[in-house]
Amino acid sequence: MKNIGFIGIGIMGKPMVLNLLKAGFSVFVLEKSGRSQEVHEAGAHVCSSVKQLVESVEIVISMLPDSPEVEAVLFGSEGIMQDLKAGQVFIDMSTISPLVAQKIHAELAKLNVEALDAPVSGGQVGAEAATLSIMVGGSANAFAQALPIFQAMGKNIVHIGEAGAGQITKACNQMIVGMTIQAVSEAFTLAHEAGVDLVKMREVLLGGFAQSRILDLHGQRIIDRNFKPGFKIKLHQKDLNIALATGKAFQVDLSGTAQVADQMNKAIAMGNGELDHSSLVVVIEKEKK
């Protein structure tokens, strides 16, 4: 099995590393990572420098908050670009701008390093259960090399197309998820104000055409008032801004996405940016007339 360097051990990255270890991969992480000791106890190798990490592996994976962090990991003063060698593969599983993903592909191609943009969907639950959906952009050759790695972390793995295709698909995913959370939040607020039992409403709706994973999981979160983050609202807002910028680039009107992005801006202004994106319902509850 190939050695893997993993950069970004956060809410999503930590369980992804643990699942790679369970699958038998040798995983190398940076000592400065906040959760490095936790994954070290599970079998990960800890590296004192980026150079040591890159020189120890065939494949480097990043799972970071946004485009600037990914660019810094690659092109910054301590970036991995200076240590990557021909034949290695860089896989970015973050959700970033498709244009940045294409830039990364182009720059790494100059080093004969393959790159894949491979954002994921499924949240913390999917990361922990190794059931993530993984949407991949890049060459068929790089995808074939990475497939066993993806299979250790996810179940629905699709090679979408060339560079940036994975990030375009993730932007579309986040649009659908955001608008569905908005719909569930509005429906639950209306039902609550009308005196309808939310537990019973959720139960019956899950058996009909309105059924969705968001209605199932986030509907329960709303009922329980459990907004502990699986996916922070500030990160979803970032993703919708990526979608809106991409829509502008392709001259596609994304008015529904813009409305939900505005609701998320309000949630952040209320101080709820660190809460789960299901907490969008709080904005609707506070705005009811």
> What is d(CA 65, CA 68) in angstroms, rounded to the nearest whole number?
8
> What is d(CA 7, CA 79) in angstroms, rounded to the nearest whole number?
12
Contact 93, 62 (CB under 8 A): yes
> What is d(CA 138, CA 41) in angstroms, rounded to the nearest whole number?
34
Catalytically annotated residue among 170, 232, 234, 238: 170
Task: List the one residue out of 165, 132, 186 whose CA is nearest residue 246.
Answer: 165
Q: 170 catalytic, yes or no?
A: yes
Cβ neighbours of 49 (radius 10 Å): 13
Using the structure block, give the residue that is written with the tokens 């309000």. Answer: 266
> What is d(CA 107, CA 157) in angstroms, rounded to the nearest whole number?
25
Q: How far is CA 73 from CA 27, 66, 238, 250, in A?
A: 18, 11, 19, 28
Catalytic residues: 170
